[in-house]
Amino acid sequence: MNNDIIIAQEVTKQFVLPAETLHILNGVNLHVSQAESCAISGASGSGKTTFLSIIAGLDKASSGNVLVDNFSLTDGSDENLSHFRRKKIGFIFQLHFLLYDFTVLENVMLPAMLDSRSVGQLRMRAQKLLSAVGMQHRLAHKPAQLSGGERQRVAVARALINHPSVLIADEPTGNLDEKNSQIVEELLFGIAHDMRVTLLLATHDTQLMQKADRYFHLEGGVLV
């Protein structure tokens, strides 16, 4: 039985500029199984973020097919893609993108507030996730009162609030020192394993890359 949750087939991406056409992805193929972790490396500008954005439904491929959890991103309408992202994808970026006017607890709850769900239930789940990332003692703090590593741990909790099938991380330790990088690495892989969430990440960090079940190098617009 095929248990692939991510299927990318011959994915291409071009950007048409006045003077030239940039070919970023040139027929990328990738199959990722349920609860598997995959890391993608590559030089800056190689297309890692573009590829992750396509898998996440934030961008569309120029050609090729993409299926995530049996949903076709190739044919999806904007409304369906928005619903897909909210329900199926958790995002962790290099920058935490926490809202500074809100507390840690409120930041984690916010992505789920669009749905008609009990605020009490959301609060309980957010507290549970913040406990899982070691931030249960910071619920009422605001991002300005946290260290860089703590902010990224909150971002991990926020990415999981909607029970995503796929967790996408784009250089999640890129702005952290070695100690905090290690903490975030262990959290990412530990939580993904415990919650059976598929993890797809882009990174320059060799140590982070080697923790994944499989890792690839993006070069010349294709995965090696």
177-217: pLDDT as tens digits:
888 888 888 888 998 899 999 999 999 888 888 899 999 99
Average pLDDT, the chain: 90
Whose CA is closest to 6, among 83, 75, 73, 80? 73
Estimate the share of the chain in helix, then strand, then coil, as percent rounded to the nearest 5: 35, 25, 35
**Band of the pLDDT at 1, cuts 50, 70, 90?**
very low
The letter for the amino acid at 98 is L
Task: Give pLDDT, residue 51.
Answer: 95
Burial of 68 (0-12, 13-18, 19+ CB in 10 A): buried
pLDDT tens track for 24-62? 999 999 999 999 999 999 988 889 999 999 999 989 999
* CA proximity to 84, closest of 100, 96, 66, 61: 66
Q: What's the N-to-C CA distance of the chain in angstroms? A: 26
Q: What is the pLDDT of residue 154?
A: 94
Is the distance from CB of 174 to CB of 94 less than 8 angstroms? Answer: yes
Q: What's the pLDDT band for 14 if we cut at 50, 70, 90?
A: very high
Tokens matching residue 183: 């903490």
